[in-house]
Amino acid sequence: MNLQGKTAFVTGGAHRIGRGLVLALARAGCHLVLHYHRSAEQAQATAAAARALGVQVILRQADLSRLEDASALFTDLPSSFSPVQILVNSAAIFPKDTLTDFTLDGWSQTLRINLRAPVLLTQAFARALPQELEGAVVNITDWRTERPYRTHFTYTISKGALDAFTRAAALQLAPRIRVNGIALGAMLPPAKASEAYWQSVLATVPLARAGGTESVADTLLYLLRNDFITGEIIRLTGGAHLKMSYA
Ligand SMILES: NC(=O)c1ccc[n+]([C@@H]2O[C@H](COP(=O)([O-])OP(=O)(O)OC[C@H]3O[C@@H](n4cnc5c(N)ncnc54)[C@H](OP(=O)(O)O)[C@@H]3O)[C@@H](O)[C@H]2O)c1
């Protein structure tokens, strides 16, 4: 896909990894629909940084845990925008829970944001995409679906189902829409993580460092540009998936 002039929709685009993806798409010439939930100021700042790169940006505020009908997000666009051809599902939550202590409310919240919203957004995206246009979806997932955390139960289940969804959607939406994923390892420390925790995570990474946002952004652009990849989930782990023991 040639990205120049395409419209891309990014969930959770205000800050951290989402911001990196928005700015990479802007540098590649994409106009942006930047979704945020609570981070309005950071969304405005990211939009301004993207506009400074010469593209158009509109903001869309939504609580994805309450998403029922996503169609308006793809149809209600300014007339200067072409139809959305790229969807990036990055917004997610990372609650700490286990099989023995999770609550039904916690389960619902995690599954709604991390799984149900990307599914509904992909459905609405596919329905809104005009027949003559190609599309691409990239889901941001986590390699720890292969080696589950002991401490993030509902998150791991939600991302594992997102992996399955990525493959199912790739098959169902081919040949017009490609659907891929990026399974992240240690890219940025979680917002409330202690330095000691983060160092213990980095100690499990053969490349001995965090991945940062640029690595995710580069992989996103690669998956969007390469027209023969679908149903693929690329690990970005710095080699952590090769180790025999895990935190
Ligand atoms: N950081 C890592 O090293 C790492 C590792 C593995 C996987 N990942 C995955 O990479 C993606 C981005 O990670 P990150 O660390 O940058 O995320 P983050 O800092 O935790 O940010 C979460 C994002 O999700 C949005 N969000 C949360 N609840 C929402 C809701 N109810 N409705 C709508 N949006 C909501 C937030 O929007 P607002 O701030 O606007 O409210 C925010 O943009 C996630 O899918 C995460 O699972 C990250």
Percent of the chain with pLDDT over 90: 95
pLDDT digits (tens, 9 = 90+) for 189-216: 988 889 999 999 999 999 999 999 999 9
pLDDT at 247 exceeding the cut of 70:
no
Q: Which residue has the tokens 């992240």?
A: 184
| Chain segment 45-90, per-residue pLDDT in tens | 999 999 999 999 999 999 999 999 999 999 999 999 999 999 999 9
pLDDT given at position 65: 98
Residue 98 Cα to ligand 1 midpoint, Å, equals: 20
Predicted confidence (pLDDT) per residue in 13-42, tens digit: 999 999 999 999 999 999 999 999 999 999
Find out whether the beta carbon of 41 lies less than 6 Å from any atom of ligand 1: no
* Number of neighbours of residue 147 by Cβ within 10 angstroms: 14
pLDDT band at 246 (very low <50, low <70, confident <90, very high): low
pLDDT tens, 117-152? 999 999 999 999 999 999 999 999 999 999 998 999
- Nearest-atom index, ligand 1, CA of 39: 40
Q: State whether the beta carbon of 12 lies less than 6 angstroms from ligand 1.
A: yes
**Could you tell me if 168 and 181 are in contact, meaning their C-beta atoms sit under 8 angstroms apart?**
no
Q: Cα–Cα distance between 226 and 153 in angstroms, integer?
A: 34
Residue nearest to atom 34 of ligand 1 (CA): 37
CA distance 157 to 163: 10
Ligand 1 neighbourhood includes 14 CB (under 6 angstroms): yes
What spacing in Å lies between the alpha carbon of 91 and ligand 1's midpoint?
Answer: 4
Relative to the CA of 144, which ligand 1 atom is closest? 6
For atom 48 of ligand 1, which residue has the closest CA?
184
Stated length of the chain: 247
For residue 132, report the distance from its CA to the centre of ligand 1, in Å.
33
In which element (H, E) is residue 46 found? helix 40-51
Mean pLDDT over 83-102 rounds to 97
Question: Residue 245: pLDDT band by 50, 70, 90 thresholds?
Answer: low
Q: Say if CB 32 and CB 56 are below 8 A apart.
A: yes
115 lines ligand 1 (CB under 6 A): no
CA of 131 to the centre of ligand 1 (A): 31
- Distance of alpha carbon 138 from alpha carbon 221, whole angstroms: 10
Specify whether the CB–CB gap between 123 and 70 falls below 8 A.
Answer: yes
Pick from 106, 227, 113, 122: nearest CA to 167: 122
What pLDDT digit, counting tens, does each position of 218-228 carry?
999 999 999 99
Question: CATH assignment of 7-237?
Answer: 3.40.50.720
Most informative mutation of 94, 121, 163 for ligand 1 (most atoms within 8 A of CB) = 94
Q: Please work out whether the CB of residue 60 comes within 6 Å of at least one atom of ligand 1.
A: no
| Cis-peptide into 130, omega within 30 deg | no
CA nearest 92: which of 208, 225, 184? 184
* Spans of all domains in the chain: 7-237
pLDDT at residue 14, as a whole number: 98
Q: Which residues contact 206 (CB under 8 A, 6 or more apart)?
A: 238, 239, 240, 242, 243
Ligand 1: atom nearest CA of 109 is: 31
